[in-house]
Amino acid sequence: MLKIYNTDIETNEFQEIREFKKGSWINLVNPSENEIKKVCENINIQEDFIRDALDYEEKARIDKEEDDNTILFVVDVPISEKGEENEIYTTMPLGMIVVRDEFFLTVSLRKNKIIESFEKRKIKNFQTYKKTRFIFQILYLNSSYYLNYLKQINKETEIAEYILKNSMQNKELLKLLSLEKSLVYFTTSLKSNEIVMEKTLRGKIVKLYEEDEEILEDAITENRQAIEMAQIYSNILNGTMDAYASIISNNLNGVMKFLTSITIILAVPTMISSFWGMNVKLPFENSPMGFLIMVLIAIIMTIAVTLWLNKKDMLK
């Protein structure tokens, strides 16, 4: 998908346009080959800049091409996907390309809430021709969305823990495992984004304006807070998973102990009856009450073994 937006300098009106106008914002979402070639031919940039941002495994980084004065920013943005049973939280690369201070491109594999916020004019003081500010606003909004997703993950963790307290279910344990994996992805991506922002703040990548620099500093602060939250939630979740693993192991040991005790109890009458089944001289073999005496002995021995096992907490 290819869309071009422009903010009129005089009227400050934001609208979608068809031509490649200087100062415009070009948004590419999972573009086709024709769309990539069309953009590259019209604004004269290398296809690699766009294709790099479309690589799902691309890491957060900055790439500056001195020859044609083109800068590529790649950051990881948080996304959520509907799984078979649970919401899956992960990240994907978002490319931002500044072309000769004339055009600004955003490139992503799929729609995301960050870009949609700008398309729907939800962001204040946003103009397509102010490219430095645009980058910083995206970085700030990105950090804010990480915080929001982390709060959602924490809430889902608490719900899963509450359900597990009442009944151990594989479904909830798998959900906790999925959330733990999401926190690992988030922590890794946030740290990579921090490197990009710190490098940008040093002022050697793009020209920093005093009124925009504060936005970048706020974005770095939000990003650091998100890193701390992700690490805290991850540590808590790791501890929770370890605790439940211990509980499950303990419950299994309890079940095995109980079954072993039942086996011992059932073995007592079997053992006694086996003795009386031997082809040798035995007590009470000629007595008409011999069978009842044998049964009585088996019952007494079984009760005695049961009481002893219960005293040793083997039946709990």
pLDDT in tens, 74-116: 999 999 888 666 778 899 999 999 888 788 999 999 888 999 9
Question: Which residue type does 198 have?
Answer: E
What are the start and end residues of each CATH 1.20.58 domain in the chain?
Answer: 253-311
Residue 257: CB partners within 8 Å, gap ≥ 6? 314
CATH of 253-311, one of 1.10.1060, 1.20.58, 3.10.450, 1.10.3470: 1.20.58
pLDDT of res. 280: 64
pLDDT of res. 141: 94
What are the start and end residues of each CATH 3.30.460.20 domain in the chain?
Answer: 2-249
Which of these ranges, 2-6, 141-145, 286-290, 299-303, has the smallest mean pLDDT? 286-290
CA dihedral 161, 163, 169, 173 (to 10 degrees): -20
Give 207's DSSP letter: P
State the helix-helix crossing angle for 210-276 and 290-311, rounded to 10 degrees.
160
Say which residue, 171 or 184, is predicted with more confidence. Answer: 184
CATH 2.60.40.1940 corresponds to the domain 2-249: no
Give 15's DSSP letter: E
- Provide the 3-class DSSP secondary structure of residue 8: coil
Q: How confident is the model at residue 47 (pLDDT cuts 50, 70, 90)?
A: confident
| Entry pTM | 0.79
* Cα–Cα distance for residue pair 113/141, rounded to 1 Å: 10
Q: How confident is the model at residue 201 (pLDDT cuts 50, 70, 90)?
A: confident
pLDDT of res. 274: 77
